Amino acid sequence: MIIIVGLGNPGLAYRKTRHNAGFSAIDRLAERNGVRFNKKGFSAVYGEGQIGGQRALLVKPQTYMNNSGDAVQQVLNFYKLEPSSLIVLYDDIDLPVGSLRIRQNGSAGTHNGMRSVIACVHSDQFARVRIGVGNDQTLLLRDYVLKRPSGDERAVLAEAFDHAAEAAELIAAGRMTEAQGKYNKKHESMKKNEPDA
């Protein structure tokens, strides 16, 4: 069994904000695979189905971003699973809008939700799909990530959520290298095409 977690903040006020990219991506994953978030528990809403040929639990913590790890830890403890069973989808301000970065493990970087997950499960040895939301140096970080993206960004992010869902499916099927080759390469090409400062 695998656990796929999308990070975000609960409530209508945060719906479709940049910081909720993880929720948007896991919603797309659920839609693609006929999974419904019809259960409550573990300080989360969740649904069960088949992803990449594996039994999977799709989880959206309802603890607010900075405490996301509480819900993740509860799920792992209940099902007696190791952190290596996790795939986490979340927003990343250090990536260009719409790009993905897929890793088998690693640090939380600047993301408080991931810091919470790593602290609660006592490991950083789990897969993650980072979804680029960009940054705006003229705004406070909190103000930027808690805003909804502009019209142009929305179209780019909609495609990114579809790609993130596909990447999660590949990882679930044991095809991490394929997911990285397909989407990390795109991220690198986007970086090369950025204008020089």
- pLDDT tens, position by position, 115-151: 999 999 999 999 999 999 988 877 777 788 888 888 8
Write the CB contacts of 67 (distance below 8 Å, at least 6 apart in sequence). Answer: 61, 116
pLDDT tens digits for 19-54? 999 999 999 999 999 999 999 999 999 999 999 999
Tokens of 196: 């020089």
- Which range of 8-17, 145-154, 169-178 scores highest in mean pLDDT? It is 169-178
**Dihedral angle sign, alpha carbons of residues 63, 38, 90, 159:** negative
Q: Is 111 among the residues known to form the active site?
A: no
Contact (CB, 8 A) for 25 and 83: no
| Fold entry, domain 2-192 | Rossmann fold (3.40.50)
Q: Is the pLDDT of residue 196 over 60?
A: no
pLDDT tens digits for 58-117? 999 999 999 999 999 999 999 999 999 999 999 999 999 999 999 999 988 889 999 999
Contact (CB, 8 A) for 184 and 55: no
Q: What is this structure's pTM?
A: 0.91
Q: Which of 19, 111, 163, 187 is catalytic?
A: 19
Task: Provide the pLDDT for residue 192.
Answer: 46
Task: Provide the pLDDT for residue 187.
Answer: 54
Q: Is the pLDDT of residue 188 over 50?
A: yes
Can you list the positions of beta strands (E) in the chain? Answer: 2-6, 39-41, 44-51, 54-61, 86-92, 100-103, 127-132
Which residue's structure tokens are 């790009």? Answer: 99
Contact (CB, 8 A) for 127 and 85: no
**Coil, strand or helix: which one is 92?**
strand
* 29: nearest Cα among 45, 10, 5: 5
Contact (CB, 8 A) for 89 and 164: yes
Q: Is the pLDDT of residue 1 over 70?
A: yes
CA distance 28 to 21: 11
